């Protein structure tokens, strides 16, 4: 059985994609994983390409980046070579599977993993981070991996495997959030499909049109009557 020891300090008010966060960092922890089928306490949704890095407290070691989820959090992690042990970082909400996946791509370009590295990689994977997160996480990561690498990661098409994780787990008690799909449709990394509308995702063009209508003068709208 997978065991996760998480110390999460979270005070979060969430409304669609806009949310306000007060220090919502989960401490980096050691954890034990088994397969998704065996692990009743958590899921490993995605395993990325292994890479070699120096991990504080572990030395130089081969790591496999993952996207994980348990009831109390969802986020990013690494598994250590020839071991069921690793470390994770996540949030209770939002459950942004795409940001976590993109964070695994960021990790592969790092030579050193410290206590705050997983959080920094996750926020660097956000499509539309808050200004405070840009300054605290995204900008330092860009300095680390380079603007060209960062831009390439942000342009990567979202894998079908990640899209299916979001859509197929909507029946969970704490399902993955849907708004990241709309963000990626707008960015061009996901192609729109009818299946998205079926689960309640609004096409970005529709959202934009509604926003425009809300700002039109009332007298102009009455011309349609």
**Gyration radius of the chain over CA positions:** 19
The answer to whether 97 touches 166, Cβ cutoff 8 Å, is yes
Angstrom distance (rounded) from CA 207 to CA 195: 17
Angstrom distance (rounded) from CA 113 to CA 116: 8
Backbone angles phi, psi at 46, to 5 degrees: -155, 140
Angstrom distance (rounded) from CA 154 to CA 80: 26
- In the prediction, which pLDDT does 204 show? 81
- In the prediction, which pLDDT does 216 show? 64
The answer to whether 58 touches 34, Cβ cutoff 8 Å, is no
Helix (H, G, I), strand (E, B), or coil: what is residue 20? strand
- In the prediction, which pLDDT does 42 show? 74
Q: Six-digit token pair at 82?
A: 């020839």
Backbone angles phi, psi at 178, to 5 degrees: -90, -25
Mean pLDDT by 10 residues, the chain (225 residues): 33 33 36 38 87 94 96 95 86 97 97 96 97 96 98 98 97 96 96 95 76 65 55
């Amino acid at each position: 059985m997978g065991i996760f020891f998480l110390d999460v300090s979270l005070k979060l008010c969430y409304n669609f994609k806009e949310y306000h966060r007060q220090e919502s960092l989960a401490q980096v922890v050691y954890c034990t994983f088994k397969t998704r089928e065996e692990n009743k306490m958590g899921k490993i949704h995605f395993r990325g390409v292994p890479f070699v890095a120096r991990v504080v407290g572990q030395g130089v070691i081969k790591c496999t980046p993952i996207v994980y989820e348990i009831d109390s959090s969802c986020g990013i992690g690494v598994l250590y070579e020839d071991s069921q042990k690793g470390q994770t970082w996540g949030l209770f909400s939002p459950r942004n599977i795409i940001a976590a996946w993109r964070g695994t791509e960021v990790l592969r370009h790092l030579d050193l993993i410290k206590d705050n590295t997983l959080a920094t990689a996750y926020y660097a994977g956000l499509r539309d981070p808050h200004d405070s997160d840009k300054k605290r996480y995204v900008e330092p990561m860009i300095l680390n991996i380079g603007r060209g690498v960062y831009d390439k990661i942000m342009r990567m098409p979202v894998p079908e495997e990640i899209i299916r994780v979001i859509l197929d787990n909507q029946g969970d008690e704490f399902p993955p959030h849907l708004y990241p799909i709309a963000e990626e449709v707008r960015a061009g990394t996901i192609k729109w499909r009818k299946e998205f509308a079926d689960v309640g995702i609004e096409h970005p063009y529709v959202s934009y049109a509604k926003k425009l209508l809300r700002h039109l003068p009332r007298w102009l709208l009455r011309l349609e009557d």
